[in-house]
């Protein structure tokens, strides 16, 4: 990613943190096999500081949207505590296949690692770590050109921070996220891409000031499915916070 492309993805900047709009399909850091990653372009975001910002949390390779960076060590330590204690509120938009019958609810389902050979892949596990997510229906529709294939637009909030939590929770409840090729029915290669977007993040940076609220615009690969579920564009988007 060029310096100009990275700068164009800055959604918020202050003395402590930067929030960028992460593109889908690009990992945030290098894996064991190396390759291109978002972190390699962070030097473009120094804005006069001696060091590049660093990741305060993670997003999956295929997930787009709000990604928080700490601008220096003290900021990273502060942000780390906020994330650790669940004080950062995160709202994701997802389009799922099928969908829940109710309009809102909670998924309380412990998660554990699938096995040692699958790296970060997870599974429901009664002996796993506590994992809780809330969901709210924002719209319902059908796959464009396939009216018999229902879709649902959800606002999802992970109350815990497990790897692949929202993807596993949705799949386990019978409404996998559209395009999920690990836990859902998305093709292994090609296909529509994972329809999961970190839409909004709310960070209480200061006790004396209102929390910082940042929203990431809908990426192009989600637009058609969201429109089929009633989304009318950014100007008419409903409140994303469950």
| From 14, 21, 60, 125, active-site residue | 60
Contact 199, 60 (CB under 8 A): no
Cβ–Cβ under 8 Å, residues 160 and 89: no
Residue 124: strand pairing partners: 111
Q: For this structure, is 60 an active site residue?
A: yes
> Among candidates 96, 89, 105, 108, which has minimal Cα distance to 211?
89
Q: How big is the CA angle at 54 (ends 212 and 46), to the nearest 5 degrees?
A: 85
| Integer Cα distance of 183 and 167 in angstroms | 7
By C-alpha distance, which of 64, 66, 68 is closest to 25? Answer: 64
- Work out whether strand 64-70 and strand 196-203 pair parallel, antiparallel, or are unpaired: parallel
Q: Which alpha helices (DSSP H) does 52-135 contain, by range?
A: 73-84
3-class secondary-structure state, position 240: coil
17/13 Cα distance (integer angstroms): 6
Longest CA–CA separation in the chain, Å:
56
Please list the active-site residues: 60
């Amino acid at each position: 990613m060029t310096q100009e492309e990275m700068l164009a993805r800055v959604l918020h900047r202050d003395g402590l943190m930067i929030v960028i709009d992460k593109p889908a399909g690009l990992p945030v850091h290098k894996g064991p096999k190396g390759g291109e990653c978002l972190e390699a372009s962070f030097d473009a975001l120094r804005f006069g500081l001696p060091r590049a910002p660093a990741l305060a949390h993670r997003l999956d390779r295929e997930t787009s949207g709000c990604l928080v960076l700490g601008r220096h060590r003290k900021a990273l330590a502060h942000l780390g505590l906020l994330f650790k204690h669940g004080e950062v509120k995160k709202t994701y938009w997802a389009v799922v296949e099928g969908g829940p019958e109710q309009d809102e609810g909670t998924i309380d389902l412990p998660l554990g690692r699938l096995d040692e050979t699958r790296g970060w892949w997870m599974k429901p596990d009664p002996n796993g770590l506590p994992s809780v997510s809330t969901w709210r229906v924002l719209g319902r529709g059908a796959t464009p050109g396939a009216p018999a294939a229902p879709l649902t637009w959800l606002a999802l909030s992970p109350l815990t921070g497990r790897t692949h939590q929202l993807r596993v929770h949705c799949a386990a409840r019978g409404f996998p996220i559209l395009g999920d090729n690990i836990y859902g029915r998305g093709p292994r290669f090609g296909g529509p891409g994972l329809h999961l977007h970190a839409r909004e993040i709310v960070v209480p940076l200061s006790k004396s000031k209102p929390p910082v609220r940042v929203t990431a615009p809908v990426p192009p690969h989600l637009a058609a499915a969201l429109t089929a579920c009633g989304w009318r564009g950014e100007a008419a988007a409903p409140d994303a916070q469950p």
